[in-house]
Amino acid sequence: MAKSTKIPVGILGATGMVGQRFIQLLERHPWFEVAWVAASERSYGKTYAEAAKWKMKTAIPPRIAKMKLSAAEPAGAPKVIFAALDSDIAREMEPAFASAGAAVISNSSAFRMHPQVPLVIPEINADHIKLIEQQSWRKQSGGFMVTNSNCSVMGLALALAPLDKAFGIESVFAVTMQAVSGAGYPGVASLDILGNVVPFIKNEEEKMEEEAGKLLGKLKGGQIVPASFGISAHCNRVAVEDGHTESISIKFKKKATAEKIIKAWREYRGMVADLKLPFSPAEPIFYDERVDRPQPRLDLERGHGMTVSCGRLRPCSLLDWKFTMLSHNTIRGAAGAALLNAELLKAKGYLE
């Protein structure tokens, strides 16, 4: 068999929910190939199939099922690392890999707000990756770190980006109804969510409010100047497996009509349309005319989980407009987001 010419990648936290999504999404990826998987010490030396409580709806790829879990150390690991770690662990482990020369594409919150670490949604702020050059890891070893945002802010930021460009955002209200998969596995106990709503997700509102500003901020003089709109978030957990739904109200600086807003969403292609990235959806944002959409059960898989769905645009009696937004929290909001970041880095020559 001919040797693969794909880029070998490693996955830190490979057995968790986001790690499983990475493995599922990387199967048959045209550019990347999983060559190394690591998890906690407890799993070290087991095969992936033995160590992972696989919860995806497709089977474990047979090649991965047999792969042995490595120790979570840079020695022997590939130079491109997807990190799906809890924040506490990420805080220690991600710099260790970046110091050792790896490109760390992280889904954790540990370094998202770090001034030299880009927080990237390629459609919105692909140019922020230039921050990489300021990272000390980069200067020392060539390694670096790039992060994607929290799952609850990803879809919101995408829905806002074209509107900010067209009308200037002044303020945003967002109330989330988040899926349980966002909390990992075992995550939310069934006794907490069957027939229930939990009006609290630790640190989630804070993340939404601060990350939105950085995502929509501008890179000026080597620094991110955060977007200046006001934002207030309420985060709730609901009995949904996958898919974060958000009720959003928004106030603009310039006058907007429903037609113009919908047009802005539908025409939005973002900064990476010309790069033809494999995970880049044809339509980053889909506007659904139907009166009761989007809904997680029905609209989640649009664009293979990479398209954000908006609907129910109508006037808001407090701000200007209100609408509903749905995004796939473990694809667009986590593993798919990191993958798209990796594709951007590859296209821009950072993975060579």
The DSSP line for 205-253 is: HHHHHHHHHHHT-EEETTEEE----EEEEEEEE-S-SS-EEEEEEEEES
The DSSP line for 124-137 is: HHGGGGGGGGG-HH
CA distance 352 to 348: 10
55 binds its own copies (CB under 8 A): yes
- Of 29, 244, 310, 328, the catalytic one is 244
Among the residue ranges 31-39, 96-104, 141-149, 242-250, the one whose residues contact its own copies (CB under 8 A): 242-250
CA distance 50 to 96: 27
Among the residue ranges 30-38, 88-96, 113-121, 308-316, the one whose residues contact its own copies (CB under 8 A): 308-316
Q: Nearest approach, Cβ of 297 to its own copies (angstroms)? A: 4
Q: Nearest approach, Cβ of 72 to its own copies (angstroms)? A: 24
109 binds its own copies (CB under 8 A): no
Q: Which two tokens stand for residue 343?
A: 């594709």
Which residues lie closer than 8 Å to 218 by C-beta, 6 or more apart? 224, 225, 227
Contact characters 321-340, its own copies, x per CB under 8 A? -x-x----------------
Whichever of 189 and 225 has its CB closer to its own copies, that residue is 189
Q: Nearest approach, Cβ of 304 to its own copies (angstroms)? A: 11
47 binds its own copies (CB under 8 A): no
Taking alpha carbons only, the member of 205, 188, 253 closest to residue 227 is 253
348 binds its own copies (CB under 8 A): no
312 binds its own copies (CB under 8 A): yes
The dihedral formed by the CA atoms of 218, 223, 229 and 234, expressed in degrees to the nearest 10: 110
Helix (H, G, I), strand (E, B) or coil at 41: helix
Q: Which two tokens stand for residue 282?
A: 């044809």
Q: Nearest approach, Cβ of 305 to its own copies (angstroms)? A: 11
Taking alpha carbons only, the member of 155, 118, 123 closest to residue 271 is 123
Of residues 174-193, which lie at the interface with its own copies (CB under 8 A)?
175, 177, 180-181, 185-193
CA distance 92 to 98: 11
258 binds its own copies (CB under 8 A): no
Give the number of other Cβ atoms within 10 Å of residue 259's Cβ: 9
Question: How many angstroms separate the Cα of 228 from the Cα of each of 224, 253, 264?
Answer: 12, 12, 21
Which residues lie closer than 8 Å to 3 by C-beta, 6 or more apart? none
Among the residue ranges 219-227, 252-260, 310-318, 340-348, the one whose residues contact its own copies (CB under 8 A): 310-318
Contact characters 17-36, its own copies, x per CB under 8 A? x-------------------
Q: Nearest approach, Cβ of 119 to its own copies (angstroms)? A: 19
CA distance 96 to 118: 18
Phi, psi of 30 (to 5 degrees): -70, -20
CA distance 83 to 66: 21
Helix (H, G, I), strand (E, B) or coil at 217: coil
Annotated active-site residue 235? The verdict is no
209 binds its own copies (CB under 8 A): yes
Among the residue ranges 8-16, 36-44, 133-141, 318-326, the one whose residues contact its own copies (CB under 8 A): 318-326
Whichever of 202 and 276 has its CB closer to its own copies, that residue is 202
271 binds its own copies (CB under 8 A): no
Q: Nearest approach, Cβ of 71 to its own copies (angstroms)? A: 27
Single residue of 28, 57, 255, 276 touching its own copies by CB under 8 A: 57
- Of 29, 151, 310, 328, the catalytic one is 151
228 binds its own copies (CB under 8 A): no
225, β-bridge pairs: 218
Q: Which residues bind its own copies (CB under 8 A)?
A: 17, 55-59, 171-173, 175, 177, 180-181, 185-200, 209, 230-232, 234, 236, 238-241, 245, 247, 249, 291-298, 300-302, 311-312, 316-319, 322, 324
Catalytic residues: 151, 244
